[in-house]
Amino acid sequence: MALAFYHLRMQSLDALLREAEVAHGHLCAGQILGVRMAMYACALLDVDDPRMGPDRKRLVTFVEIDRCATDAIGVVTGCRLGKRALKFVDYGKMAATFVDLHNKVSDDTYAALRVVALETSRELARQRFPAIENKNEQQMRAYRELSDGELFKVERVSVSLPANEFPGYKGGRVACVRCGEGINYARGVETPQGTICRACASPEARYYRPIE
């Protein structure tokens, strides 16, 4: 039950923070925020153990920023980029959406929770712990002790997740007719000449530039 997990969450916060510190290399305010965010989402979704047992493959998580909190979210949920259970959308926001694969809304669409860190939590940290001069230490203390409602906004949303976006999906592989590099998960662009990769389709938009 969600309530039981909530109590377990409070008892195991320190243990999860230690795991997050090892995975990330240090412990900071963002790590604490990420752990709290993921555990709050699990409690609301009634996910008892996202890393083992029957709930092990229940979540797919979309993260909206490539910062410390993202590593912490992966530690709590077990979602990893290499498992295709962690998806990155570069919105630059301290937010994540937790998709419940046990709750299908319609074909390829699932119920989810989007959890956003409130901007007001920083001011609350200053108000609650004015004696702590170091901002990171101040926020670390606050993010441990503030309530979930003081830290986060929650939205109930739906997410389209077709079969080829699922963890464990093994699709076909084709070679780009221009550069010859392999393309997975239907990421190619179809042309009259055949399938080409996105880098060849839009050279001006690719993130790298070949050096002649």
Map out the domains of the chain as residue ranges.
Answer: 2-165, 173-205
- What's the whole-model pTM score? 0.85
Give the length of the chain.
Answer: 212
Say if residue 1's pLDDT is above 60.
no
Residue 46 carries which DSSP code? T
What is the CATH topology of the domain spanning 2-165?
Answer: 60s Ribosomal Protein L30; Chain: A; (3.30.1330)
Calculate mean pLDDT across residues 4-17.
62
Whether residue 8 has pLDDT greater than 90? no
* Pairing outcome for strands 59-63 and 86-88: parallel
Each residue's pLDDT tens digit, 130-188: 999 888 899 999 999 999 999 999 999 999 998 888 887 777 889 999 999 999 888 88
Q: Give CA–CA dist 115/39, Å, rounded.
A: 11
pLDDT greater than 90 at residue 101: yes
From residue 28, give the alpha-carbon distance in Å to each of 8, 97, 143, 175.
22, 22, 10, 43
% of the chain exceeding 90 in pLDDT:
58
